[in-house]
Structure 1
Amino acid sequence: MLHLRYFVAVAEELNFSAAARRLHMATSPLSQRIKDLERELDLRLFERDTHSVTLTPGGEALLPIARDVLERVNRIPWRLREVTRSERGTMFVGIPSGLHPRLRELVNTLAERADEWCELLRWPGTSKALVTGVCEGRLALALARLPISDPALDMLPVMSERLGAIVPADQFTGRDSVALAELADLSFVVAPQELRFSYFDQLDREISERGIKKRIKLTDSGYGGIAEVVSSGIAFYFSMLNAESPMHGYALENTRVLPFTDFEPVLDTVLIWRRDRASGGDLDDIVAAAREVFADSLRM
């Protein structure tokens, strides 16, 4: 079963290093596991060279089969819980870092509405970890950041947050906005893998195409470390513009957040759940309640 999980990760990432990070393992043993699977199936699954990884026709045929098998396996824990649970069970909703307080209020409202049939508890994590938790059945629901492409999931848009540039304040005195080109002399902070949203990787590529080439890569730091680098005057990062965002709690002296004049980054948050658990499954009631509570997507 693990070999199929390894195969799906590589097939979706088409990059052994990215797949290894996703699986929290080293690249070399992952490559060996794929070779073991190819040997077991007597079928070459990937074409790989020093520059790219692509699926063979056999790999393309295996991918939907492997996804289906893993989805069935992932259903086992919650199906067992459904059979053995008491009348009032416990469910977990995943909460990503930097969640806007308005969404926290709505989670509380959902917990109150669901109180008759379940205790809804929060569970923290990165968006990637929360998506995995929902797919594997450990979490009933999760608030997560786009992009998300897992076909097993249903999602409901709940909030869009405009992003600005967090910059050294002394270099932008008296300014109420900034153009992207004005940041070319600063380095963009690449946050540690476990901290950054996938959308920020997309933004990294976009600003590189628009001439922002300098990077500072942090490998062992929290959001406070990002603010330290910006405060020192050598870098910038993206942050939510709305003053209520908890991300503003990481601000330091000599930092400020400015909207862009020529760039419109928006971070979208969605509520996700497994489609098969909602359709006639154990999440029917909680998903119906969530659709009512989160009916109006917010824009900040």
Structure 2
Amino acid sequence: MDMLHLRYFVAVAEELNFSQAARKLHMAASPLSQRIKDLERELGYELFERTTHRVDLTPAGSALLPMARDILERVNAIPWRLSEAVRPRLDRLFIGMPAGVHPLLRERVRLLEDACREVCELKRWPGTSADLADAVHDGRLAMALVRLPVSDPALEIIEVMRERLGAAVPADRFAGRASVTLDELADLSYVATPNDATPAYFEEIDAHLNSVGVKKRIRINMADYSGSSELISSGMAFSMTMLSPESPMHLYRLDNVVVLPVEDFQPALVTGLLFRRDRADDGGDLSDVAARARQIFHEVISV
């Protein structure tokens, strides 16, 4: 028995008509019928019930059909499976991603993934900005998007995005308003999440608010920002977050929460792409990927 016998059998089993199967195989019906008889003789079973008007599979033929299809599929897959087995494996590299990355910046990451497809497999890895920066420094990550500032002379930092921040406030208290002032926020508590869950820049915001008279604080231990939204929705507090309505951070916003610009305070959260200088320089293992990243992220996105 050879592969041709199985191909002939499957063609007849699928058509249940010798003439149609022969046309499909680009051969005459008579030699096709003879090949099927040869297969039946070799296996010791009749595979088809033949009458003047129809052809049907016997129980043996029905049992053989899935086996024959499986064998033929495996044989047909040999060329690409062999190609997969012998081609050089691409390195898998990781790019760190903090929470709340804006869709426009995510699109740049997708462009980088596509641009690097021939030289590496670039995958995303989540984490806080501080942890991601440490992972790049230690070599566990190839690169990362992080919220600036980051101070590490070993790292090359490319500013890639600036996002204006506004005040997330109780909507009923500021109904119909297009903006707020710091004085109007003074009797609300500023809600702050743990330092290890927020970018270092928010420490600067906290210090500025304190210096202009916004003294009340509520500190919570929830790192997913949902706790802040609960407090704001209840009318007790406010926080600072991205103004852009496209920011994923707005997914945490509950009813009775609105984000408004602050007239006398215009902070902006800056995101950078960073990688080790020695790995990105000529001769470094990331020089090719870093060159593509510099090209894709050369223009700062402002929202």
- Do both share a fold (TM > 0.5)? yes
Post-superposition, which runs of at least 4 consecutive aligned residues in structure 1 deviate over 3 A?
none
Report what 2:133 is aligned to.
131
User: Number of paired residues?
Assistant: 215
Aligned mate of 2:298, from 283, 295, 298? 295
3-state SS in 1 of match to 2:221: coil
Report what 2:225 is aligned to.
223
What aligned pairs does 1:1-300 form with structure 2 within 5 A after superposition? 88-279=90-281, 280-300=283-303
CA deviation digits over 1:85-109, x for unaligned, max 9? x652110000000000111111111
**Structure number with bigger Rg:** 2
Quick one: which amino acid aligns to residue 164 of structure 2?
R
Residues 91 and 221 from structure 1, CA distance in 2 versus in 1: closer, same or farther, beyond 3 angstroms?
closer
Q: Distance in 1 between matches of 2:146 and 2:221?
A: 23
Bigger drift between 186-195 and 110-119 goes to 186-195
Quick one: which amino acid aligns to residue 118 of structure 2?
E
Quick one: which amino acid aligns to residue 161 of structure 2?
M
Q: Distance in 2 between matches of 1:116 and 1:210?
A: 53
Report what 2:53 is aligned to.
none
Give the % identical residues: 52
Q: Distance in 2 between matches of 1:111 and 1:228?
A: 37
Q: Is the contact made by 1:167 and 1:230 (CA closer than 8 Å) also made in structure 2?
A: yes
Q: Distance in 1 between matches of 2:100 and 2:223?
A: 16
Q: Which structure 2 segments of 5+ residues have no match?
A: 1-87
Q: Which structure 1 segments of 5+ residues have no match?
A: 1-85
Q: Distance in 1 between matches of 2:219 and 2:254?
A: 20
Q: Distance in 2 between matches of 1:147 and 1:188?
A: 22
Report what 1:30 is aligned to.
none
Query: What is the Cα-based RMSD across aligned positions, in Å?
Result: 1.0
Quick one: which amino acid aligns to residue 145 of structure 2?
L
Bigger drift between 230-239 and 215-224 goes to 215-224
3-state SS in 1 of match to 2:197: coil
